[in-house]
Amino acid sequence: MKLQEFQLGDIAYMVDEDYRWSESEVRRVELCSNGTVEYSTWDCDFTTEDIGDWVFKTEEDREESQYN
């Protein structure tokens, strides 16, 4: 089981398919029956598996990613 990485009100830093950077507030956190945590922001939904891929916990993490 994965740990919850974001709390309600946290900011998620994202990169979209066109390599545009954005950020949005986490407004829903849901633990699924398979142990996956799903998050919703005002702009998109993502899971724990997306963190570090196209969703980041800090601006610095995003800046150091492959998308910089």
Question: What digits encode the pLDDT tens for the residues 10-68?
Answer: 999 999 989 999 999 999 999 988 888 999 999 899 999 999 999 999 999 999 988 76
pLDDT, residue 2, reads: 57
Query: Residue 21: phi, psi to the nearest 5?
Result: -90, 145
Interatomic CA distance for residues 33 and 20, integer angstroms: 33
**What one-letter code names the amino acid at 26?**
V
Q: How many CB atoms lie within 10 A of CB 3?
A: 6
**What one-letter code names the amino acid at 38?**
E
1: pLDDT strictly greater than 50 = no
Q: What is the pTM of this model?
A: 0.86
